[in-house]
Amino acid sequence: MRLVWVSRHELTEENWRILRKAFGLEEIEVVQYTKTVEDIRELIEFADQHGADAFVVVLPPHLIQQLLQATDKPVYRFVVEREVLPNGEAKFTPIGLERIVRVEIVTERVVSKGSQ
């Protein structure tokens, strides 16, 4: 299996352990896409050039939604625990992997242009 890892951060040993467990494979190839995603088509082209089977992403919801609409390849993300350290920094620990099936944003208008 070959995955495109969309993030500026390297995979940690825990990320690798989670991937091996999730896919039931010892050997998983990962190609990393570190550029800022401005056009989802560039990301899909990158995946196609590298023969990727799926994506593991750190992306904002609107880009995940575009990716889901533009490809048949599965899209995954790591589930992480967030811990605020005494110095105020945040520590993120991966604890799982989930497949993204759909992105749905439900909104309610609070104010509009011209309203008082």
Ordered structural domains, the chain, with CATH? 2-100 (3.40.50)
What pLDDT is recorded for position 116?
64
Residue 57: partners with Cβ closer than 8 Å, 6 or more residues away: 6, 7, 64, 67, 75, 76, 77, 100
Whole-angstrom distance, CA of residue 28 vs CA of residue 1 = 5
Q: What is the pTM of this model?
A: 0.87
What pLDDT is recorded for position 115?
66
For residue 32, the cross-strand partners are: 5
Q: Residues of the chain whose pLDDT is less than 70?
A: 115-116
Token digits of residue 89: 């920094």
Among residues of the chain, what percentage have pLDDT more than 70?
Answer: 98
Q: What element of type H or E holds 29?
A: strand 29-33
> Angle, to 10 degrees, between the axis of helix 61-70 and the axis of helix 40-49?
50
Residue 87 backbone zone (phi > 0: left; psi -120 to 50: alpha; other: beta): alpha
